[in-house]
């Protein structure tokens, strides 16, 4: 108790130290005066009385020192003293301080910004009850998705877990007709919210009774996210029990989720959640469509290994019970039966997987930029320490210990870095928003939390120590150098900057080169992606998604809507500005794939997966619309479609692979259980993405596949100009049509968003590092010219030409730059190997790229050295000699 | 003269100070010093200055409190008074001092039996 009180009192005493000092002074003075008074009463004269009083007292100064040590915490006190001193120094050098703080703010801000993204996508715990006990069931770590029959079996039969839930993200269309009103949708099982422990802020959430086949007594229900409720309904409670149209079907709004609940995939979000039973695009009994993710909550005390073992026991019966009927291919059945389940921590998402590597690369980049910045600040501090040599020498001479001085200098560095970090923290908020909005296609909760704050603080401290420690040690080194005057001289003339400063610049050049090289790789890769020949002509193509309510993934034969779609296609073709239009299951470069094994008499696969070919179901004119050249044979015609002929068009890769050295026209291949006759060959065109090599692709008439909603239109008009016409054309055919229009170019740009992100950011950071290093180089050279003034003056006096003086200085610059470049290239090529999977058709050892990077760097570094070096030629020998 | 005077045993100064403040408080530092010297009849060597760090510690522990005031001779001085917890502490300290001094007494008696 007493100990606590002492501690508190000491802590309080940290404040207002000066007032407390004055108090003590006054108290002691009163003491002495009273003693003097007494002695004088006893007959001593003034001087004797004072002497005696002082003798009785003992050392006044010593007493004060003891008192101060006890009053508070001497270390803390000294720290605060250092802090005040540092602030005073910085206030006296506003320009120096501003430059340093701004540099640091950029460096630290970049780190915080990237870390915020990493935090949001990878580290934040899910906004649910006890997220550590949630696991995701996977088919294997790479494969996504379970069929609804598997989910229902697990839901009803499992006793391994406390509880299980299933969900699937999708896009909902909320419009009743006309242009599509998109919202991020989430299909959830009845157990979803209860298992996660999410409580509604309004109404109730989806319960197991809402999620039964046919959707229970309440009919289809919907739950809104907090953000959507705020945005679309103004946060009004009246939204409850209102009806909302989702994909053409009425749902009743029953509740709103809390503000922090974004779902269970980091970096994603949802607007509206509905029970699985409302999904009409998937027939719930479909044993093939793998659209669900499954999460499970572990039982208390249960380990992941135990749960895995339990799941392993259940696996065979799940598989037996859900084996798709009508499958006859033994290989497929065997594979289906033995495919294992595995468990991973919940919260991963495709976005997370997709961005994990780029984010690590970016994190490395920004750390390197910060290091380059640290190099500069260390140089600046060194130069300043030289200017402060007088002060430091003075402090030594009146008895400051070296440790004390280093501490003082480190406190100064820390003050700088903390100021930089504070500013950088705000930069990061702004930069983070720009990156997320402009360069990434992600949404979700990326707001900073305590981790971001702690990270920034840690970076600030580390930075302060990194750039502060070397100058602090260096400039207090001449403690033993002897006399005060020698110290001053040595500091001035042969300053400490000589070696350390050179190393710093060399290291900065190396790191910047590595960064510039990385940027060049990303840039080249991006350029290649942009200019790559897609095999089709992307410009002037509009992609139109047109939905009719109640349209599932049905085969054409089963669906009456097909007629309507064909009518719509004809109506679109009639429009005056439409050159051609087609209807297909997929459009290129949308990351969507339909793949199946094909078999021919001439091709004998040696390994599994070798006979896979990509497919698309298309209407006549598809190739004309996309500008894919017909190499041989013919396009589909209306009879192929109407009569459901088993004909196919293949691309050149398909032809080469499955019919090597033969004319494929007239040949047949087997796809699943059906045989198709090849009637045409078209040129190769990108399929799922620009990066992947063109796969062997077969095109089949639309009627051979599933119902599609996708139209492609070639028109010289812009999307905005023709959209109203397109919408009204569709609605004239059927007023229930809802339509979304996008340019194909947008799709393509979206597909290389990550490449653009990496190219843009790495270029930005590369140039930032280059700029910082150039400033460092210029500073070093400028300083060395000043330092070698005397020598240069003498040389000039005995007849050196201005040119030779500049060469003298530049020799150093070139040697330094050379070292930096060699070191940087070693770093760059070593680091580049980690990037190779992110690059498109770019080799890390590409000599043109290496040449560009090295050339840029050498030019900048030498130029940055040359500008101050010219000053050497202007040194006036006479004036210089006089001043010595 | 320092050789004739005894050094103050560590810790006993606090006891003496507390007692003095209790008996005479509110009292300023100089008064405390004078009082201790009087009580020891000039036997104790007291650097008056050492009193102040100790007064600080006693205050930090909450056993005494201080206030600015005016002395008899009209000078502004800081006056110390004992607090309730200080009184309690003083009682405990006095008790233990008595016990210890008895024990020490037994050791230093000329007829002390060490056998």
A22 touching B (Cβ < 8 Å): no
| Lookup result for tokens 């796809």 | A671
Q: Hey, CA dihedral for A630, A636, A638, A639, is it positive or negative?
A: positive
Q: What is the distance between the alpha carbons of residues A231 and A236, in angstroms, rounded to a whole number?
A: 10
Closest A-chain CA to B29: A31
Give me the residue from A31, A37, A71 closest to B56, CB to CB: A71
Take residue A183 and report the two structure tokens written for it. 């919202």
Residues A655-713 pLDDT 10s: 999 998 889 999 999 887 789 999 999 999 988 888 888 999 999 988 777 667 789 99
Buried b (16+ CB within 10 A) or exposed e, B14-44: bbbbbbbbbeebbbbbbbbbbbbbeeeeeeb
Q: Hey, CA dihedral for A455, A458, A463, A464, is it positive or negative?
A: positive
Residues A786-795 pLDDT 10s: 777 778 888 8
In this predicted structure, what is the pLDDT of residue B2? 36
Q: Is the pLDDT at A599 greater than 50, yes or no? A: yes
Give me the residue from A26, A58, A67 closest to B56, CB to CB: A67
Residue A392, SS3 per DSSP: helix
In this predicted structure, what is the pLDDT of residue A559? 57
Cα A273 versus chain centre, distance: 27
Q: To the nearest whole angstrom, how far is the Cα of B33 from the nearest Cα of chain A?
A: 10
Burial class (CB in 10 A: 0-12, 13-18, 19+), A113: buried
CB contact under 8 A, A70 and B56: yes
Closest B-chain CA to A1: B61
CB contact under 8 A, B71 and A31: no
Take residue A342 and report the two structure tokens written for it. 């595995």
In this predicted structure, what is the pLDDT of residue A142? 58
- CA A511-A517-A520 angle, 5° bins: 145
Which residue of A5, A8, A24, A27 to mutate against B (max B Cβ within 10 Å)?
A: A27
Q: How confident is the model at residue A221 (pLDDT cuts 50, 70, 90)?
A: very high
- CA A312-A313-A314 angle, 5° bins: 90
Q: Of all helices (H) and strands (E), which one includes residue A187?
A: strand A182-188
Q: To the nearest whole angstrom, how far is the Cα of B107 from the nearest Cα of chain A?
A: 33
Q: Which chain B residues are within 8 Å of A58, Cβ to Cβ?
A: 47-50
Q: What is the distance between the alpha carbons of residues A291 and A264, in angstroms, rounded to a whole number?
A: 16
In this predicted structure, what is the pLDDT of residue A441? 62
In this predicted structure, what is the pLDDT of residue A33? 87
Q: What is the mean pLDDT of residues A641-655?
A: 89
In this predicted structure, what is the pLDDT of residue A492? 42
Helix boundaries (H) for B1-112:
12-24, 29-39, 51-60, 84-108
In this predicted structure, what is the pLDDT of residue B51? 85
Q: Which chain B residues are within 8 Å of A70, Cβ to Cβ?
A: 53, 56-57, 60
Give me the residue from B49, B71, B73 closest to A57, CB to CB: B49
Q: What is the distance between the alpha carbons of residues A611 and A596, in angstroms, rounded to a whole number?
A: 8
Q: What is the mean pLDDT of residues A759-767?
A: 91
Q: What is the distance between the alpha carbons of residues A519 and A828, in angstroms, rounded to a whole number?
A: 10
Give me the residue from A2, A38, A63 closest to B61, CB to CB: A2
A67 touching B (Cβ < 8 Å): yes
In this predicted structure, what is the pLDDT of residue A601? 82
A27 touching B (Cβ < 8 Å): yes
Q: What is the distance between the alpha carbons of residues A449 and A466, in angstroms, rounded to a whole number?
A: 26
In this predicted structure, what is the pLDDT of residue A521? 93
Q: What is the mean pLDDT of residues A166-179?
A: 82
Take residue A61 and report the two structure tokens written for it. 């100064």
CA nearest to A691, candidates A758, A610, A755, A759: A755
A2 touching B (Cβ < 8 Å): yes
Q: What is the distance between the alpha carbons of residues A676 and A696, in angstroms, rounded to a whole number?
A: 15
Q: Is the pLDDT at A606 greater than 50, yes or no? A: yes
CB atoms within 10 A of CB A592: 13
Give me the residue from A2, A24, A33 closest to B75, CB to CB: A33
A60 touching B (Cβ < 8 Å): yes
3-state secondary structure A436-503: HHHHCCCCCCCCCCHHHHHHHHHHHHHHHHHHHHHHHHHHCHHHHHCCHHHHHHHHHHCCCHHHHHHH
Establish whether this prediction's ipTM goes over 0.90.
Answer: no
CB contact under 8 A, B47 and A30: no
Average pLDDT, chain A: 83
Residue A252 sits at φ, ψ, to 5 deg, of -100, 130
CB contact under 8 A, B52 and A67: yes
In this predicted structure, what is the pLDDT of residue A482? 47
CB contact under 8 A, B49 and A10: no
CB contact under 8 A, B29 and A31: yes
Residue A138, SS3 per DSSP: strand
Based on its alpha-carbon atoms, the radius of gyration of chain B, rounded to whole angstroms, reads 16
Q: What is the mean pLDDT of residues B53-60?
A: 86
Q: What is the mean pLDDT of residues A528-544?
A: 88
Cβ atoms of A487 and A389 within 8 Å: the answer is yes
Q: Is the pLDDT at A598 greater than 50, yes or no? A: yes
In this predicted structure, what is the pLDDT of residue A880? 67
Residues A113-163 pLDDT 10s: 889 888 887 777 777 888 888 888 887 655 668 888 889 999 998 888 999
* Global pTM value: 0.74
Q: How confident is the model at residue A282 (pLDDT cuts 50, 70, 90)?
A: low
Q: Hey, CA dihedral for A842, A843, A845, A848, is it positive or negative?
A: negative
CA nearest to A581, candidates A725, A453, A692: A725
Count of CB contacts below 8 A, A vs B?
A: 73
Cβ atoms of A477 and A495 within 8 Å: the answer is no
């Amino acid at each position: 108790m007493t100990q606590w009180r002492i501690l508190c009192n000491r802590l309080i005493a940290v404040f207002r130290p000066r007032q407390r000092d004055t108090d003590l002074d006054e108290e002691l003075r009163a003491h002495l005066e009273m003693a003097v008074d007494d002695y004088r009463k006893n007959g001593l004269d003034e001087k004797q009385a004072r002497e005696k009083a002082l003798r009785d007292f003992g050392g006044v100064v010593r007493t004060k020192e003891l008192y101060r040590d006890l009053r508070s915490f001497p270390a803390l006190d000294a720290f605060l003293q250092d802090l005040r001193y540092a602030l005073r120094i910085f206030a006296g050098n506003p320009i120096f301080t501003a430059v340093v703080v701004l540099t640091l703010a950029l460096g630290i801000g970049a780190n915080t910004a990237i870390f915020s993204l990493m935090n949001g996508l990878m580290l934040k715990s899910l906004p649910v009850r006890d997220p550590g006990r949630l696991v995701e069931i996977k088919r294997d770590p790479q494969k996504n998705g379970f069929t609804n029959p598997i989910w229902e079996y697990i839901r009803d039969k499992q006793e391994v877990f406390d509880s299980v839930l299933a969900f699937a993200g999708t896009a909902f269309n909320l419009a009743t007709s006309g242009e599509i009103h998109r919202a991020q949708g989430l299909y959830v099982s009845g157990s979803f919210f209860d298992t996660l422990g999410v409580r509604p802020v309004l109404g109730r959430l989806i319960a197991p009774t809402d999620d039964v086949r046919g959707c229970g007594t309440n009919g289809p229900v919907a739950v809104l996210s907090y953000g959507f409720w705020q945005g679309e309904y103004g946060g009004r409670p009246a939204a409850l029990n209102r009806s909302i149209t989702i994909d053409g079907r009425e749902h009743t709004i029953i509740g709103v989720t809390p503000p922090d609940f974004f779902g269970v995939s980091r970096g994603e979000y949802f607007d509206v959640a509905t029970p699985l039973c409302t999904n009409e695009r998937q027939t719930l009994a479909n044993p093939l469509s793998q659209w669900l993710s499954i999460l499970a909550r572990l039982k208390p005390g249960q380990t992941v290994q135990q749960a895995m073992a339990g799941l392993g026991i259940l696996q065979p019966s799940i598989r037996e019970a859900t084996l798709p009927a009508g499958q006859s291919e033994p290989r497929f059945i065997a594979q289906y039966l033995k495919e294992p389940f595995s468990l991973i921590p919940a919260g991963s998402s495709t976005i997370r997987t997709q961005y994990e590597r780029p984010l690590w690369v970016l994190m490395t980049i920004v750390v390197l930029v910060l290091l380059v910045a640290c190099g500069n600040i260390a140089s600046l501090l060194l130069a300043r320490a030289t200017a402060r040599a007088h002060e430091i020498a003075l402090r030594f001479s009146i008895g400051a210990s070296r440790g004390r001085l280093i501490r003082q200098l480190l406190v100064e560095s820390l003050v700088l870095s903390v100021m930089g970090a504070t500013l950088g923290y705000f930069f990061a908020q702004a930069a983070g928003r720009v990156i997320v909005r402009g360069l990434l296609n992600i949404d979700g909760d990326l707001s900073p939390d305590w981790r971001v704050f702690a990270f920034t603080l840690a970076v600030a401290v580390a930075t302060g120590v990194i750039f502060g420690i070397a100058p602090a040690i260096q400039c207090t080194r001449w403690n033993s150098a002897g006399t005060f005057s020698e110290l001053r001289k040595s500091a001035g003339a042969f300053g400490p900057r000589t070696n350390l400063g050179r190393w710093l610049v060399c290291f900065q050049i190396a790191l910047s080169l590595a960064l510039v090289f990385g940027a060049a790789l990303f840039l080249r890769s991006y350029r290649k992606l942009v200019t790559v020949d897609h095999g089709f002509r992307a410009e002037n193509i509009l992609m139109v998604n047109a939905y009719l309510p109640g349209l599932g993934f049905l085969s054409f034969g089963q669906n009456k809507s097909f007629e309507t779609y064909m009518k719509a296609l004809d109506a679109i073709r009639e429009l005056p500005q439409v050159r051609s239009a087609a209807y297909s299951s997929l459009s290129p470069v949308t990351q969507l794939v339909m793949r199946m094994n094909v078999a021919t008499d001439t091709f004998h696969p040696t390994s599994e997966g070798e006979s896979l070919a990509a497919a698309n179901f298309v209407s006549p004119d598809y190739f004309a619309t996309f500008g894919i050249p017909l190499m041989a044979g013919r396009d589909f015609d209306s009879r192929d479609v109407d009569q459901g002929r088993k004909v196919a068009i293949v691309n050149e890769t398909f032809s080469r692979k499955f019919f090597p050295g033969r004319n494929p026209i007239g040949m047949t291949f087997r796809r699943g259980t059906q045989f198709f006759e090849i009637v045409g060959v078209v040129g190769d065109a990108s399929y799922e993405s620009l990066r992947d090599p063109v796969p062997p692709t077969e095109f089949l008439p639309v009627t051979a596949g599933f119902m599609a909603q996708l139209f492609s239109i070639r028109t010289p008009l812009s999307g905005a100009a023709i959209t109203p016409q397109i919408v009204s054309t569709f609605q004239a055919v059927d007023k229930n049509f809802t339509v979304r229009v996008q340019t194909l170019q947008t799709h393509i740009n979206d597909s290389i968003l990550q490449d653009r992100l990496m190219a843009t950011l790495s270029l930005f950071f590369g140039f930032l590092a280059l700029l910082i290093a150039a400033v460092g180089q210029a500073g070093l050279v400028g300083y060395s010219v000043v330092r070698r003034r005397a020598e240069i003056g003498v040389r000039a006096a005995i007849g050196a030409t201005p040119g030779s003086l500049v060469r003298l200085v530049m020799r150093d610059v070139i040697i330094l730059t050379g070292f930096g470049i060699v070191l940087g290239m070693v770093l760059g090529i070593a680091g580049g190997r980690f990037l190779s999977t992110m690059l498109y058709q770019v080799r890390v050892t590409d000599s043109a790229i290496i040449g560009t990077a090295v050339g840029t760097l050498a030019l900048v570094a030498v130029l940055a050295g040359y500008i101050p070096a010219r000053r050497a030629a202007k040194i006036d020998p006479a004036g210089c000699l006089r001043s010595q | 003269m320092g050789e004739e005077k005894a050094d103050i045993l560590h810790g006993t100064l606090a006891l003496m100070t507390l007692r003095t403040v209790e008996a005479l408080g509110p009292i300023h530092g100089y008064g405390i010093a004078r009082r201790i010297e009087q009580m020891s009849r000039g036997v104790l060597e007291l650097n008056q200055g050492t009193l102040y760090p100790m007064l600080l510690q006693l205050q930090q522990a909450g056993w005494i409190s201080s206030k600015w005031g005016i002395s008899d001779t009209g000078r502004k001085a800081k006056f110390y008074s004992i607090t309730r917890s200080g009184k309690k502490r003083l009682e405990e300290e006095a008790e233990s001092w008595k016990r210890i001094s008895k024990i020490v007494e037994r050791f230093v008696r000329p007829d002390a039996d060490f056998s």
